[in-house]
Each structure stands twice: as C-alpha cells, then as structure tokens.
Amino acid sequence: MGKIKIKRKSTALDMTAMCDVAFLLLTFFMLTTQFRPPEPLTVDIPSSIVSIPIPNKDMAVISIGKDGRVFLDVDQQQVRVQALNMMAEKYNIKFTDAEKVVFSNIGPFGAPMNNMKTLLSADPTSRDEIAGKMPGIGLDTTENFSKCELFDWVYRLRSVKQSSDTKLRFAIKGDMKTQYPAVKTVIAILQKQNVNQFSLITNLEANPLAKK
Amino acid sequence: MAEVNTGGGKKSSPRVDMTPMVDLGFLLVTFFMVTTTFSKPMVMELGMPDKNNPTKDNMKIKESRAITLILGKENRVFYYTGTGQDAENTHIEVGYFNDGKKSIRQALLRRKQEVETNPNLSAKEKSDGMVVLIKPDEESNYKNVVDILDEMKICDIHIYAIVDISKPEKDMIQSVAVE
C-alpha cells in the first residue's frame, strides 16, 4: 500500500529550481540582447575568413545595395550633426533643430540633399518606409567628383573628425550581388581624398585549409 | 469564514503551481535566444596604393613572380601567369570559386609553389612570394571581389593589388568566354 502513496506524490514536481534557471537565462538574454537597428537598405554581406571584429567607435559605414544605391552611416551623433550643418551650408538648405535631432538618430541614410528635408520632416511612423525608398546618396562621377554628394559627405565627416584625436575609419558594406563598378566608384571617391585604408565588412566563415 | 471551512487546503497552499510561470519563462528565453545576434560582422582591411602620389608604392614586378586574375561574369576567374605585357602570348585559363578540379585556389597554390621554387629568383623575392594582380571586370560582383581577397588570405599571399582591367584583357576574356 505504501507504494501507491509514493506514486501519488511524484505527480507534482517541484518546479522552483527549473523556474529559477529559466528566469536566470531570461535575465541574461534580456540584458545582453542588442536589437538590430532598423536598416533601410538590406545588405546581404559576403563572408570571409578574417576574424577581426568590427570596431565599435569611429566608423563610417558606406553601404552599397544590390541595386547600387549608396547609404551612409556614422555612429557618433555629434559628428553627424556637424557634418550635416556643413552639408547644409554647401547645398544652401536650412534644417531646423528638430530635423537635426531626427538626423542624429536616424541610422543609415540614403537621401540626396534635395530629399533630405522630406526624410527628416516625415512622420515618425512612416519614416522607416520613406528611408528605405530613398534613391541613395548621389554618386556623380563627373568633373573630379565636384558634384558628388558622397564625396562631400566623406570630406566633411573627415574634416569634423580632424580636430579630435581619433580618426574616422571608413568601411564598405556591399551586398553580394552589387556590381563591381558601383564599388569601384565608391573606392575611387575615397581614394580621391587620400583615404587609402579602409575596411570591407564581411561575415565570418571557416578557413577551408585550416583542417589540413 | 469560508476559508476556515477549506482549512484542509491551507497546508497545501505554500506549493504554488509553477508550470505556467516556467512555460512563460522558457518562451521568453527562446525569444531572446533567437533574436540575439551572435554573428557580429568582421572587417577585412584593404589598403590601396596612393593614387595622388603614384610613385610612392610603385614597384616593378618580375613577370616570373606574377599572376593576373580577371574576375568575369557568372563567378568565373580568368587567370594567366605574368602581368600581361605580352598579350598575344599569354595563355588564359578559367577557374571557379568552388572546391572542384578547376578551383582558383588550386591554381593559386600551384603558382605559389612555382614561384617559391623558381631558381632564377633571389631569396628575398622567394620569401616575399608571388604578386597577384586582381582585375575585376564590370560584370563581376562584389562577392567575387571579397572572395578573391579571401583567397589571398587563405593561400597566405601577401602581395596583391586591385587594378583596373585593360581593353586587351577585356577582349581576351571575351574570346575565352565564347569557347
């Protein structure tokens, strides 16, 4: 008869320990998760065997989509706003303070200067959609890049950072299907102003020769 | 006073049924595990020669140390030994980015071996290894460029440069592509 009693007891498990573990893990993942910021331009990056993680600071990332559109992203908000001020001066566009705040938080942008106001003054709910439809930063290659907006952006970002101790590094984040001429143009723009060292953003992949 | 009536249940009350709580906990754990981005992107450093000051990085390359790779369309790599000074006499071959017989990696490793055992080269030239010229055609894509730079890393080749493709080379790969 004692056996029957034991069987009855065992149906209710003590869940406390399991619960503890579950919530410990939950807390860990909640704290370590960094949500991926919204990306207006989807870029499917190629992989390589290099294993140098991307630096967190002082990076300017030039994304090139598979349709050849070019988006730019700079992490430091101050640098962004200062560069925007300088661009506004050159292109004779006045931005309000509210628009500048929006710009400092917007992430990658691909708006040509004449469309920038549309993007920054857009309603927050539809801004992501508008940002994704932007035609990309202008890449006019004529006359020594004198009308090229990307050239101007790069130039101004660098001049903003010139006074500070740390240098801005430029990285190219290209889609696997991007045609080479678009990449070549971007590299030419960087080289034109003596940026000869830059990074290509890739995913990690195993070295096929390492096994041997 | 109804509580007093169910006084028998008072003893079992410190045991709370935790099952739904655990369920919820694991659901959330799964969610955060899936959304956590483990793969942080990596960066491949690329240095280009100074274009505004072309004499600085300029170097004469011996034909016997060089190999030229032309990235064409449909993930094809056309390669020939030398730098293509003598366009008529260069024998062009096709390689691919796979692990098969015609993989570009095998071709690179073969050529590397050739250069390292070439008796006509000085010790320094041998230890520096071969020189690779990478010429992406307009029809190649960014993945090909990254892949070939990756091959440089995999095959442990230290001297390489991305160079513009020339007109005779375009014609050459056209004629090969037709075959």
Per-residue pLDDT tens digits for A97-142: 888 888 888 888 888 887 888 888 878 777 778 888 888 887 776 6
- B22 vs A18: CB contact, 8 Å cut-off? yes
**Residue B84: what pLDDT?**
67
> Which residue type, as a one-letter code, is found at position B62?
K
pLDDT in 10s for each residue of chain A, 212 residues: 555 555 555 667 777 888 888 888 888 888 877 766 667 788 888 888 888 888 877 888 888 888 888 888 888 888 888 888 888 888 888 888 888 888 888 888 888 887 888 888 878 777 778 888 888 887 776 667 777 888 888 888 888 877 777 778 888 888 888 888 888 888 888 888 888 888 888 888 877 777 54
- Per residue in B95-120, pLDDT (tens digit) is 777 777 778 888 888 888 887 887 77
Residue B138 forms contact with A (CB below 8 Å): yes
SS3 A178: coil
pLDDT score of A3? 56
* Contact by Cβ (8 Å): A137, A56: no
Angle between helices A149-162 and A77-91 (to 10 degrees): 130
Give the chain A residue whose CA is nearest to the CA of B156.
Answer: A209
Residue A199 sits at the vertex; the CA angle it makes with B84 and B110, to the nearest 5 degrees, is: 40
When CB atoms are compared, the residue of A36, A177, A194 closest to B37 is A36
Q: Indicate whether this complex's ipTM tops 0.85.
A: no
Residues of A whose CB is below 8 A from B135: none
* Residue A58 Ramachandran class (φ > 0 left, ψ -120 to 50 alpha, else beta): left
Q: Check CB contact of A90 with chain B, cutoff 8 Å.
A: no
The structure's pTM equals 0.76
Contact residues on chain B for A46, CB-CB shorter than 8 A: 142-143, 146-147
In angstroms, rounded to a whole number, what is the distance separating the alpha carbons of residues A102 and B101?
Answer: 54
* A-chain residues near B32 (CB < 8 A): 26, 29-30, 33
Name the residue in chain B with its Cα closest to that of A183: B142
Residue in A16, A36, A44, A50 to test binding to B, most B beta-carbons within 10 Å = A50
A200 inside 8 A of chain B by CB: yes
8 A C-beta contact, residue A175 and residue A70? no
